[in-house]
Amino acid sequence: MTDALIRRAGHADLAAIVRLRREWTREEHGDIADPDYDENLAAWFARELSRRIMWLAEEGDRPAGMMNLAIFERMPRPGRALSRWGYLGNVFVLAAFRNRGIGSRLVRAALDYADENGFARVMLSPAERSIPFYERAGFGPAGALMLRTLPADQP
């Protein structure tokens, strides 16, 4: 286990999020030249911050990981209490900090938030290799949802 600090991220953390996302891409796909990346991520962050909560893991003063929870509010209906659900995404921990409980603590922060705020559900779309990680956090197959997939000729 680690003494990493898990906290909500804000505008002041954008540079750390940019670096973590770049490192994630480097790890998965190698170095990719993208001169618009910083600007595109900053614009996305500004648009999403009103409906997405981001968490940052820090060890000392160094960013070690991140995660976010997109919040969807259900349309009100007579006789039904207002409710929300969340989509957990972009969980990433730098390789040097893995297997120390940081990822689990990030996910726990989002699930605690969801529980404290009465979310009807939290869902995610895991990579194959991360399924055991999410199963340990209490996630399982979703049988009540449907998914539209794009035709093979579309990106």
Note the pLDDT tens digit of each residue in 10-41. Answer: 999 999 999 999 999 999 888 999 999 999 99
In a domain, 153, yes or no: no
In a domain, 142, yes or no: no
So what's the pLDDT on residue 152? Answer: 78
In a domain, 55, yes or no: yes
Give the number of other Cβ atoms within 10 Å of residue 26's Cβ. 11
Number of domains in the chain: 1
In a domain, 143, yes or no: no
Q: What is the mean pLDDT of residues 61-90?
A: 93
Angle in degrees, 0-180, between the axes of helices 37-48 and 14-29, rounded to the nearest 10: 120
> Which range of residues forms the domain containing residue 51?
5-136
Report the CATH number that the domain containing residue 130 is assigned in CATH.
3.40.630.30
In a domain, 66, yes or no: yes
In a domain, 145, yes or no: no
What are 92-119's pLDDT values in tens digits?
A: 999 999 999 999 999 999 999 999 999 9
In a domain, 148, yes or no: no
